Amino acid sequence: MTIYITPDNTLHDDADGRALHLLPKDARIATEVEIDAILNPQVSLDQLKFAKNLEINLARLAANQKTFTHGGKLFACDPLSRSDIDGINGHVGTRGSLPVDWIGGWKALDNSIVPIQNIADWNAFYDSMIAQGQANFLKSQNLKAQLAAATTSEQIEAIVW
């Protein structure tokens, strides 16, 4: 199959040679180098770094919305769970007490209820969630420092969450 190229770098093909009359008048036979350059464009180091930075940000967001550990148990931190946790924390922060109808604990991913019987217990639970968020932030900052120092596409590609 012959591939043709126009001055605006648009590729056209004529698989069986029967549609040559439909090609733009300024089309000419493309070289393999031209075809490769159009089909596999080079991405700059800055573009790769921009994409990797976005990837790191999205990985941090996903990690923050996954789980955290408290008292040896794993807890959900998805948007719904985080909303519930923040709601209770708002109550504790504005009233200085756990809600009147408090069930006495928080459900872990293994379906067990971990006792939270007072504000100190609640603060320890909430601090565990904060600590996971801080760990995720520090990890992202470390990866971004590696990214800033990267000078090749291979180094950028090697940076993974």
Percent of the chain with pLDDT over 70: 96
Query: Mean of the per-residue pLDDT values for the chain?
Result: 94
Beta carbons within 8 Å of 113's beta carbon, 6+ residues apart: 103, 104, 105, 106, 107
User: How would residue 22 be classed by pLDDT, with cut points 50, 70 and 90?
Assistant: confident
Confidence of residue 63 (pLDDT cuts 50, 70, 90): very high
CB under 8 Å to 152, separation ≥6 — which residues? 45
Whether 66 shows a pLDDT value over 80: the answer reads yes
Is 5 in contact with 30 (CB distance < 8 Å)? yes
- Per-residue confidence band for 41, with pLDDT thresholds at 50, 70 and 90: confident
Residue 25 is predicted with a pLDDT of 86
pLDDT digits (tens, 9 = 90+) for 84-135: 999 999 999 999 999 999 999 999 999 999 999 999 999 999 999 999 999 9
Q: How many CB atoms lie within 10 A of CB 122?
A: 20
Q: Is 73 helix (H, G, I), strand (E, B) or coil?
A: strand
pLDDT at 144 over 80: yes
Secondary structure (3-state) at 155: helix
Count of residues in the chain: 161
Q: Helices (H) and strands (E) in the chain — how many of each?
A: 5, 7
User: What mean pLDDT comes out for the span 135-148?
Assistant: 98
Per-residue pLDDT at 17: 66
Given this model, what pLDDT does residue 135 score? Answer: 98
**Least confident interval from 40-44, 56-60, 108-112, 124-128:** 40-44
Q: Locate 108 and state its tokens.
A: 């872990």
Whole-number pLDDT of residue 1? 74
CA atoms of 152 and 133, how far apart (whole Å): 30
